[in-house]
Amino acid sequence: MKIAVLSYPMLFQSRGGLSMKVKRTVAALREVGHDAHLFDANNDLLRDYDLVHVFAGYNGNHRIIEQAKRDGLPVVLSTILNPPFSASQGRKARLLSRLVGKLTGYEVTTSYWQLRTSIQLADQLVVLGNAEGRMLTEAFEADPAKVNVVHNGIAQEFFAADPAEFLARYPQVRQPFVLHTGLIGDVKNQLGLARAMAGSGVQVVLVGYAGEDVSDYLRQCLAASPDVIHLGELAHGSLIASACAAASMVAIPSRHEGMPNSILEGLAADRPVVLTDNHVMDLDLPTDVAVEVQADDLAGIRRAVDGFLASPPPPGRARSVVSHMSWNAVARRLSDVYDKAVAANRSSGGSR
Q: Are both 2-153+326-347 and 156-321 of the same fold? A: yes
| Least confident range of 52-56, 71-75, 92-96, 229-233 | 92-96
Query: What is the model's pLDDT at position 84?
Result: 65
Rounded to an integer, what distance in angstroms lies between the CA atom of residue 185 and that of residue 204? 16
CATH, domain range 2-153+326-347 = 3.40.50.2000
Query: What is the model's pLDDT at position 91?
Result: 81
H or E segment at 78? strand 75-78
pLDDT in tens, 35-90: 999 999 899 999 999 999 999 988 889 999 999 999 999 999 999 887 667 778 87
Query: What is the model's pLDDT at position 83?
Result: 64
**pLDDT surpasses 70 at 252:** yes
List residues bridging with 37 in a β-sheet: 4
State the pLDDT confidence band at 337, using cuts at 50, 70 and 90: very high
Q: Is 3 exposed, middle or buried (0-12, 13-18, 19+ CB in 10 A)?
A: buried
**pLDDT surpasses 90 at 282:** no
The CATH homologous superfamily to which domain 156-321 belongs is: Glycogen Phosphorylase B; (3.40.50.2000)
Query: What is the model's pLDDT at position 166?
Result: 97
**pLDDT surpasses 80 at 16:** no
Rounded to an integer, what distance in angstroms lies between the CA atom of residue 243 and that of residue 245? 5
Distance, CA of 137 to chain centre: 20
Determine the average pLDDT of the residues in 233-259: 92
**pLDDT surpasses 80 at 13:** no
Cβ atoms within 10 Å, residue 344 = 19
- The closest of 133, 108, 233, 257 to 183, measured between CA atoms, is 233
Query: What is the model's pLDDT at position 81?
Result: 83
**pLDDT surpasses 90 at 96:** no
Query: What is the model's pLDDT at position 256?
Result: 87
- What percent of the chain lies above the pLDDT cut of 70? 98
The CA R_g of the chain, rounded to the nearest whole Å, is 21
Which backbone phi and psi does 348 adopt, to 5 degrees?
-95, 10
The total number of residues shown for the chain amounts to 352
Determine the average pLDDT of the residues in 127-151: 91
State the pLDDT confidence band at 101, using cuts at 50, 70 and 90: confident
Query: What is the model's pLDDT at position 213?
Result: 95
Q: Where are the domains of the chain?
A: 2-153+326-347, 156-321
Contacts 24+ apart (CB under 8 A), 15-21: 15/183, 15/208, 15/209, 15/233, 16/182, 16/183, 17/182, 17/258, 17/259, 17/260, 17/261, 17/262, 18/55, 18/56, 18/80, 20/236, 20/261, 21/55, 21/152, 21/261
**pLDDT surpasses 90 at 245:** yes
Highest mean pLDDT among 129-138, 234-243, 331-340: 331-340
- What percent of the chain lies above the pLDDT cut of 90? 73
pTM of the model: 0.78
Query: What is the model's pLDDT at position 235?
Result: 81
**pLDDT surpasses 90 at 305:** yes
Query: What is the model's pLDDT at position 19?
Result: 82
Determine the average pLDDT of the residues in 178-194: 97
State the pLDDT confidence band at 160, using cuts at 50, 70 and 90: very high
| Least confident range of 106-115, 193-202, 206-215, 287-296 | 106-115
Query: What is the model's pLDDT at position 15?
Result: 65
